[in-house]
Amino acid sequence: MKPLRAATYGVFYRLPIGLRRWIVRRAVPKYVVGAVIMVRDSEAGGERLLLLRQPPPGRGWNLPAGLLQRRESPIVGAARELAEETGIRLRPEELSPAVPNAVVHARGWVDVVFEASVPASTTTLTVDGAEVYEAAWHPLDDLPKLTKASAKLLAYYGIGPLADQPGPWASLRR
């Protein structure tokens, strides 16, 4: 380690914790954190996925998702967003972390991704007509036009039109 860098770290770690946090918050990149939920139809062996059609600019279908509130844990935010956008009310413990659980995007946001499975035939979908126009189940092998963000995110899980294309997700599947 170079002497200047070692000295800088030495001084930094001697500072009070509050001051260290203040410095870190101003020095490191800021990210927006969202929660995304991949909801599968348990009656179709998980081969159908719940997607949402939302207002432009997306002009395609999305996964249920939204930004976390201040100090909200990702799993609680995921359950909240799922209920708000689809009417599906699940307890946080009914969600499972997807693998990978967090996807860091180049433009400054992080998606924390969860999975859930519900029976489509007995699950009532409720949308507000403003934030979400439509919610529907789609077979994994016949997905509608996805937004670019959803297509890229689903590719990390080997799903959708980009799943077989090169990208940062390709190294995660073997």
Q: What is the pLDDT of residues 72-119, one digit of tens each?
A: 999 999 999 999 999 999 999 999 999 999 888 777 788 999 999 999
Position 97 scores a pLDDT of 96
- Same domain for 15 and 91, yes or no, is no
Position 171 scores a pLDDT of 61
Residue-range definition of the domain harbouring residue 40: 31-165
- Same domain for 1 and 61, yes or no, is no
Rounded mean pLDDT of the chain?
Answer: 87
Query: Residue range 8-16: average pLDDT?
Result: 77
pTM score of the predicted model: 0.80
Query: Residue range 143-164: average pLDDT?
Result: 92
Cis peptide before 29 (omega within 30 of 0): no
- Same domain for 61 and 14, yes or no, is no
- Same domain for 62 and 137, yes or no, is yes
171 occurs within a structural domain = no
Strand partners, 48: 139
- Same domain for 55 and 5, yes or no, is no
How would residue 135 be classed by pLDDT, with cut points 50, 70 and 90?
very high
Residue 79: both structure tokens together: 């359950």
- Same domain for 17 and 97, yes or no, is no
